[in-house]
Structure 1
Amino acid sequence: MANENKVVEAIKSKKGIIDEFKEFIAKGNVMDLAVGVIIGAAFQNIVTALTGSFINPLISLITGGCKTDENGNLIPVGGQFKINGVAFDYGAFISAVINFFIMAVILFVIVKAVNKAMELGKKKKEEEEKAAPPEPTKEEILLTEIRDLLKEK
């Protein structure tokens, strides 16, 4: 009997955890965070492609030039140096720094735009609330009806 009670209590506590998790997921902040992560990953892919396709060849040209393979694709030559046979690829580091700054600027612009839109929405809502008179309460409606009935008599 004691074991059955423990099993029932464990099931009830797990059900509570599941309900609590559903409530947590349903909150807007979690969904906003998930959307932000997905959009961030998409922007990261775009920025990585930009850096790899355009910025890295420029870095290679500036730091030592490029050569082409048999298909005519550019192969970066510069952007690294060797000490005792160990290659230090500072071109990849510069590329990562540029990648970071591009992502930071994009995120800054997005956050700035969202904050501006939210601020405008808040101002518009406040203006609408000021323009529209508040709805009369039930008591006010009742008192108005009583007043009108007394005026008729």
Structure 2
Amino acid sequence: MKDMEKLKDFGEIVITIQACVIKKFLQGFMAPKQKKKKKTAGEESSKAEEVDDEKRLAEEARVATAVEKWKTAIREAQTFSRMHVLLGMLDACIKWDMSAENARCKVCRKKGDDEKLILCDECNKAFHLFCLRPALYRIPDGEWLCPACQPTVARRGSRSR
């Protein structure tokens, strides 16, 4: 950033930062509105699924349009104050409460021991290695799923005696 001479260069960096934010950590105009699915029976469920798919696609298109407008505004910004407003919009769309900085163990409800805290790759809930049963002695390589997010087959196999 020290080598930047133009506001446009900074704008491209901001756009890159936005692209790097995982979708599940976005909200507001940068994320589709999530609705809980209701279960229905029979033919109505297939019609309901088609309607849900149409709504989902329409919502994704709305989000894509809004994000493109934001990116265009970033690229066309000519003052630092305008760039500051657009950067504030990005900041408001990030779910900071889901940040690893705010992670609290779901078992003991305590913060701290960050080097022994592991986050689920699915739901982003935090657990201390020593609070898990069975306890882990090191952070596993690759993806890790908490007990609630593990497939039921894997959970059943580990609990059988």
For normalisation by structure 1, the TM-score amounts to: 0.28
Higher helix share: 1
**Greater radius of gyration (CA):** 1
Higher strand share: 1
For normalisation by structure 2, the TM-score amounts to: 0.27
